[in-house]
């Protein structure tokens, strides 16, 4: 097995471990602190960190990495000089930003979240005061992650992402009585610092040498600026919409921010696994087939077909079994059965995001390969505006669950626009294949849903532990669904099986 294949396998495993470690952190937080004004305050403050992380790890990565690799093949020394200058500029700008913002951040928080109660506001302000001086460290970690990818050093990059989440969980578990909920942010900062040391160590091992320079070659700077804005907009749109959700959630009930956060984490697991495996393979194939229109079209359909075949049944399963997953992950200590019910109410409306975002990841990659980033930028901005409008009306009518519904509607809007944009340039046969896929998968999904409902009503499972119920029902449902796909959509079944083997 080649070194790159081994790295790909380990990267996939570590990406899954990273997502599961996020559940460990949230599970410990639920056990120690429950779902209340304190956890809402923590999650509001932490939203700023996740926004910055998304901006750098995805937006910066998509803009910088292809340009850097291209320039490195021409002039390695000049490319490294540009990389150092970009790193120094970015870290310096965020350091200045944190200094400028620090005196005013309580006012900013209060302005963005005017409906916070006194306890939530106090926690959010204090946690922001702790992490704000370290924001440039978080940015540095994201940039170094991109540099490691350019060196094909994937495993240290994933380990550096894992450490902040892991240390946050450890600190919460061991120091919550002393540091209270603030133990989470202290652990996150310590983990980030250790991750930066690991990143620098492996970068140096791979020939990277840091230099104090701000000299960026003119063409390199121009290329970065042109790509950066649309790339960042597309990368952070999900985080901004979640940020907006939390703004409106503070005006509903105590713990609403926590309920939405916990539900969205469950929804994110299938999408993360899909995007780091199947979607990554599709992206590679698309890049290779970009000059061959028919092959490119077939590859796009293969990606969309794979996302629907894999993620539609998962979406249905989460809507029917999500309460068992929430109970297993969160329901202990301070997190009660009443909190489980309120989280599940949000999860039902968030569940469509599994299919919508998974399919979107394929369609967006097709647009990236074709270098049509301006379109993505325009659509991304429009989704933020639409989300604010829907949140305003849905929060009044439905409370915090209306915010989850708004997210799913916005994601559907995003997907429909991008699919139309991509497929209007394709041969008409590809459009027919897409419609046939949606029709032929209905029967297997109905079969699976019926089996889940019937088994859940069985008397012998009523008093069984939630994890055991989840495993038994999921396995039976998966078998029924696979049989349904085999008989009602045989060609799609064979294509998906071939892709998995590849």
User: Sorting pLDDT into bands at 50, 70 and 90, what band is 62?
Assistant: low
Q: Quick check: 193 pLDDT over 80?
A: yes
Which of 496, 481, 95 is closest to 313 using CA atoms?
A: 481
- How is residue 81 written in tokens? 């000089």
Taken in order 377, 373, 58, 5, the sign of the CA dihedral is positive
pLDDT of residue 420: 92
pLDDT of residue 220: 76
Q: Tell me the C-alpha to C-alpha distance, in Å, between residue 408 and each of 252, 304, 311.
A: 19, 18, 15
* Average pLDDT score over residue span 448-470: 84
Residues whose CB falls within 8 Å of the CB of residue 263, separated by 6 or more in sequence, listed in order: 322, 326, 343, 344, 346, 347, 350, 404
Which of 461, 419, 206 is closest to 303 using CA atoms?
A: 419
pLDDT digits (tens, 9 = 90+) for 377-431: 788 888 889 999 999 899 888 899 999 999 999 999 999 999 999 888 888 888 8
Query: What residue ranges do the domains of the chain occupy?
Result: 1-216
> How many whole angstroms separate alpha carbon 54 and alpha carbon 95?
18
Residue that is written with structure tokens 């199947």 in the block: 278
pLDDT of residue 35: 78
Q: How far is CA 486 from the centre of its chain?
A: 31
Range in 287-296, 359-368, 482-491 with the lowest mean pLDDT: 287-296
User: Sorting pLDDT into bands at 50, 70 and 90, what band is 191?
Assistant: very high
Q: Quick check: 45 pLDDT over 90?
A: no
pLDDT of residue 7: 59
pLDDT of residue 350: 93
Q: Quick check: 57 pLDDT over 80?
A: no
pLDDT of residue 356: 92
The DSSP H or E segment spanning 3 is helix 3-33
Q: Quick check: 4 pLDDT over 60?
A: no
pLDDT digits (tens, 9 = 90+) for 77-90: 777 787 888 888 88
User: Sorting pLDDT into bands at 50, 70 and 90, what band is 319?
Assistant: very high
The model's pTM is 0.78
Residues whose CB falls within 8 Å of the CB of residue 181, separated by 6 or more in sequence, listed in order: 29, 32, 33, 38, 39, 41, 42, 123, 127, 172
pLDDT digits (tens, 9 = 90+) for 87-122: 888 889 889 989 998 898 899 888 888 878 888 889
Q: For the chain, first and last CA: distance in Å?
A: 13
pLDDT of residue 281: 67
> How many whole angstroms separate alpha carbon 276 and alpha carbon 58?
13
What 3-state DSSP class applies to 423? helix
pLDDT digits (tens, 9 = 90+) for 250-285: 888 888 888 988 888 888 888 777 776 666 666 666
Range in 295-309, 341-355, 472-486 with the lowest mean pLDDT: 295-309
Q: Report the mean per-residue pLDDT for the chain.
A: 83
pLDDT of residue 48: 81
């Amino acid at each position: 097995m080649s070194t790159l294949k081994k790295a790909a396998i380990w990267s996939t495993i570590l990406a899954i471990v990273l997502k599961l470690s996020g559940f460990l952190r949230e599970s410990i937080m639920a056990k120690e602190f429950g779902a209340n004004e304190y956890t809402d305050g923590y999650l509001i403050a932490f939203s700023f960190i996740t926004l910055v992380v998304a901006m750098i790890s995805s937006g910066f990565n998509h803009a910088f990495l292809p340009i850097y690799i291209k320039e490195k093949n021409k002039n390695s020394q000049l490319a490294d000089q540009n990389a150092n200058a970009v790193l120094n500029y970015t870290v310096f700008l965020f350091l200045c930003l944190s200094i400028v913002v620090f005196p005013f951040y309580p006012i900013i928080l209060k302005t963005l979240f005017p409906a916070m109660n006194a306890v939530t506001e106090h926690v959010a302000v204090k946690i922001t005061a702790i992490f704000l001086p370290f924001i440039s460290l978080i940015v540095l970690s994201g940039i170094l992650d991109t540099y490691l990818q350019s060196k094909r050093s994937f495993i240290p990059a994933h380990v550096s992402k894992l450490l902040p989440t892991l240390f946050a969980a450890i600190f919460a578990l061991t120091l919550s009585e002393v540091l209270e909920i603030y133990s989470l942010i202290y652990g996150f900062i310590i983990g980030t610092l250790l991750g930066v040391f690991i990143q620098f160590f492996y970068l140096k091992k791979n020939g990277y040498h840091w230099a104090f320079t701000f000299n960026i070659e003119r063409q390199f700077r121009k290329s970065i600026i042109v790509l950066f804005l649309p790339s960042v907009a597309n990368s952070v749109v999900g985080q901004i919409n979640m940020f907006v959700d939390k703004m409106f959630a503070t005006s509903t009930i105590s713990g609403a921010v926590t309920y939405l956060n916990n539900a969205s984490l469950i929804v994110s697991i299938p999408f993360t696994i899909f995007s780091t495996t199947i979607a990554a393979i599709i992206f590679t194939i698309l890049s290779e087939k970009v000059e061959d229109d028919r092959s490119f079209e077939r590859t796009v359909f293969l990606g969309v077909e794979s996302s629907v075949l894999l993620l539609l049944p998962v979406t249905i399963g989460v809507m029917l079994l999500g309460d068992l997953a929430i109970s297993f992950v969160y329901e202990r200590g301070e997190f009660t059965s009443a909190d489980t019910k309120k989280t599940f109410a949000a999860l039902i409306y968030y569940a469509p995001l599994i299919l919508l975002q998974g399919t979107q990841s394929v369609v967006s990659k097709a647009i990236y390969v074709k270098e049509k980033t301006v379109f993505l930028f325009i659509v991304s901005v429009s989704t933020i505006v639409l989300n604010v409008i829907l949140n305003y009306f849905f929060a009044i009518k439905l409370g915090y669950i209306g915010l989850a519904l708004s997210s799913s509607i916005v994601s559907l809007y995003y997907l429909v626009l991008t699919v139309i944009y991509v497929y209007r340039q394709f041969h008409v046969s590809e459009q027919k294949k897409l419609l046939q896929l949606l029709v032929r998968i209905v029967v297997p999904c109905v079969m699976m849903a019926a089996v889940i409902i019937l088994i859940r009503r069985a008397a012998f499972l009523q008093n069984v532990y939630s994890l055991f119920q989840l495993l038994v029902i999921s396995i039976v449902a998966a078998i029924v669904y696979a049989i349904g796909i085999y008989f009602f959509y045989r060609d799609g079944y064979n294509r998906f099986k071939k892709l998995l083997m590849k």
